[in-house]
């Protein structure tokens, strides 16, 4: 049994909400542009419940950069990459919820990581940086036929840094507030009606559902009714403070004292 399969068994359905369900003819959601920064580090996360494991199913696309499922594996590929980084023997099963993430921290082998239910699973392929960006889509990529996601979709997040395994695991089963440090996009996808999709962050990258999709009540793996301590932590984003403290400390340099010279001023 693979590590991802072991972790999958610990994913519990926590609540019931109306979620967006795409059919086989879906074209996804258009959500503006520029979610990824060229040459930058980032993390993309999403909860998905695929209805099939057939074909290529795009989870997130920004220009020619795509995060997708194919034949039961999780993959990520920017435009200049010769091949995609892929999970290994993940065996993702149709009808199950999965938390999927890609975190890019650099261009060397191992700098880009794929996570399934917060467990790293990838083939260590070196991934080139994102050098350009374009329109951003969730659950499909209209420019590539038959690439739409088929199944249920829930909270897609984009961060401006490569999150660690511990950071991903800390809040994967909670809805974010949109105020978390480093979070630049957060589409919760729980509107429950219509075709307009909101972004919780201050960037307000609002979206529009394209093609065939419906809202259906479903059991979900995210907690809705939180206790007092959980509400406090989730409202402040405390789990990310340690990361930013370390990042700021790295950028601080101590300059040597400039020697003081005595002198005289003559009138």
Q: How far apart are CA 90 and CA 70, in angstroms?
A: 11
Instruction: Tell me which of 90-99, 106-115, 125-134, 146-155 is least confident.
Output: 125-134
What would the pLDDT profile of 167-190 be if each residue is shown by its tens digit?
999 999 999 999 999 999 999 999
CB contact at 8 A, 222 and 136: no
Q: Where are the domains of the chain?
A: 3-251
What would the pLDDT profile of 69-123 be if each residue is shown by its tens digit?
999 999 999 877 778 999 999 999 999 999 999 999 988 899 999 999 999 999 9
CA 117-121-124 angle, 5° bins: 145
Q: How far apart are CA 37 and CA 104, in angstroms?
A: 12
CATH 2.60.300.12 for the 3-251 domain, yes or no: no
Q: What is the 3-state secondary structure (H, E, C) of the chain?
A: CCHHHHHHCCCCCCEEEEEEEECCCCCEEEEEECCCCCCCCEEEEEEEEECCCCCEEEEEEECCEEEEEECCEEEEECCCCCCCEECCCCCCCCCCCEEEEEEECCCCCCCEEEEECCEECCCCCCCCCCCCCCEEEECCCCCCCCCCCCEEEEEEEEECCCCCHHHHHHHCCECCCCCCCCEEEEECCCCCCCCEECCCCCCCCCEEEECCEEEEEEEECCECCCCHHHHHHHHHCHHHHHHHHHHHHHHCCCCCCCCCCCCCCCC
- pLDDT bucket at 260, cuts 50 / 70 / 90: very low
Regarding predicted confidence, which is higher, 76 or 232? 76
* Global confidence as pTM: 0.82
Q: How far apart are CA 29 and CA 142, in angstroms?
A: 9
> What values do phi and psi take at 118, rounded to 5?
70, 10
């Amino acid at each position: 049994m693979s590590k991802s399969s072991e972790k999958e068994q610990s994913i519990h359905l926590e609540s019931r909400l109306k979620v967006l369900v795409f059919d086989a003819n879906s074209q996804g959601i258009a959500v503006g542009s520029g979610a990824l920064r060229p040459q930058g580090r980032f993390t993309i996360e999403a909860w998905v419940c695929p209805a099939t494991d057939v074909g290529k199913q795009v989870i997130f696309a920004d220009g020619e950069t795509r995060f997708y499922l194919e034949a039961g594996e999780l993959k990520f590929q920017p435009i200049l990459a010769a091949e995609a980084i892929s999970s290994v023997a993940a065996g993702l099963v149709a009808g199950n919820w999965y938390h999927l993430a890609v975190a890019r921290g650099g261009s060397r082998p191992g700098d880009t990581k794929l996570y399934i239910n917060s467990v790293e699973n990838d083939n260590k392929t070196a991934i080139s940086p994102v050098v350009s960006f374009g329109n951003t889509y969730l659950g499909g990529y209209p420019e590539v036929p038959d690439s739409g996601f088929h199944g249920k979709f829930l909270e897609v997040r984009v961060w401006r840094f490569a999150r660690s395994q511990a950071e991903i695991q800390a809040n994967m089963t909670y809805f974010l507030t949109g105020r978390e440090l480093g979070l630049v996009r957060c589409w919760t996808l729980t509107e429950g009606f219509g075709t307009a999709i909101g972004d919780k962050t201050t960037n307000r990258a609002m979206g529009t559902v394209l093609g065939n999709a419906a809202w259906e009540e479903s059991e979900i793996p995210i907690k809705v009714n939180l206790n007092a301590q959980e509400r406090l932590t989730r409202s402040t984003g405390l789990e990310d403070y340690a990361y930013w403290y370390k990042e700021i400390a790295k950028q601080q340099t101590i300059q040597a004292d400039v020697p003081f010279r005595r002198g005289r001023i003559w009138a």
